[in-house]
Chains A and B, each alone.
Chain A
Amino acid sequence: MPTITYRDALNHALREELRRDDTVFLMGEEVGVYQGAYKVSRGLLEEFGPMRVVDTPIAELGFAGVGVGAAMVGMRPVIEFMTWNFALLAIDQVVNSAAKMLYMSGGQIPVPIVFRGPGGAALQLGAQHSQALESWFAHVPGLKVVAPATPYDAKGLLKSAIRDDNPVVFLEGEMLYNAKGEVPDEEYVVPLGLADVKREGDHVTLVCHSKSVSVALKAADQLAERHGLRAEVVDLRTLRPLDLNTLVASLRKTNRCVVVEEGWPFCGVGAQVVDDLQREAFDHLDAPILRVTQADVPMPYSKHLERAAKPSPEQVIEAVKRVTYRED
Chain B
Amino acid sequence: MTATAGSPAALDPGQRAWYHRLLRQMKLVRRFEERAAEAYAQGRIGGFCHLYIGQEAVATGAIAALRDDDYLFASYREHAHALVRGTPARAVMAELFGKAGGCSGGKGGSMHLFDAARHFLGGHAIVGSHIPLAAGAAFAIKSRGTDQVAVCFFGEAAVNIGAFHETLNMAALWGLPTIFICENNRYGMGTALERAAAVYDIAHRACSYDMASEIADGMDVLAMLDVTARAVERAREEKLPTLVEARTYRYMGHSMADPIHGHYRTKEELEEQKTHDPIEQLGRRLRDAELIGPEELDTMTRAVEDEVDDAVRFADESPDPDAAELYTDVYRG
Contact = CB atoms under 8 A, between A and B. Distances in A.
B170 A59 contact: yes
B205 interface: no
Contact of A108 (B104, B140, B167): B104
Interface string B114-134: 111000011110100111111
A95 B122 CA distance: 16
B153 interface: no
A106 B102 contact: yes
B132 A105 contact: no
Given A57-B169, A59-B170, A75-B140, A105 B102 contact: no
Interface residues of B, number: 47
A61 interface: yes
Interface stretch (B13-21, B299-307, B325-333): B325-333
A186 to B, nearest CB: 25
A103 B332 contact: no
B162 A106 contact: no
A166 B108 CA distance: 18
A75 B103 CA distance: 23
Given A104-B123, A108-B116, A25 B143 contact: yes
Nearest to A111: B332
Contact of A109 (B114, B140, B143, B330): B114
B142 A105 contact: no
A102 B333 CA distance: 11
Nearest to A74: B140
A166 B331 contact: yes
Contact of B137 (A63, A72, A107): A72
B136 interface: yes
B107 A103 contact: yes
B108 A104 contact: yes
Interface string B163-205: 1001101100100000000000000000000000000000000
Contacts of B330: 102-103, 141-142
Contact of A62 (B103, B107, B112, B167): B167
A28 to B, nearest CB: 12
B320 to A, nearest CB: 14
Contacts of B143: 25, 51-52, 70, 75
Contact of B332 (A61, A62, A75, A165): A165
Given A72-B121, A106-B108, A62 B170 contact: yes
Nearest to B133: A69
B32 interface: no
B332 A66 contact: no
Majority secondary structure of chain B interface residues (helix, strand, loop or mixed): mixed
Contact of B129 (A73, A97, A110, A164): A97
A110 B123 CA distance: 15
Interface string A183-206: 000000000000000000000000
A80 to B, nearest CB: 15
Contacts of A142: 330-331
B139 interface: yes
Nearest to B102: A106
B329 A107 contact: yes
B173 A105 contact: no
Contact of B121 (A56, A106, A109): A109
A102 B329 contact: yes
A144 B333 CA distance: 12
23 contacts: A51-B142, A57-B170, A61-B163, A62-B170, A63-B166, A65-B167, A66-B132, A67-B136, A68-B132, A69-B134, A69-B136, A69-B140, A70-B143, A72-B133, A73-B121, A92-B129, A104-B112, A104-B114, A105-B114, A106-B105, A106-B106, A106-B107, A108-B114
Interface of B: 71, 73, 102-108, 112, 114-116, 121-124, 126, 129-143, 150, 162-163, 166-167, 169-170, 173, 328-333
The 8 A-B residue pairs with the shortest CB-CB distance, nearest first, are: A69-B136, A65-B132, A62-B166, A106-B105, A69-B133, A105-B114, A59-B166, A107-B329
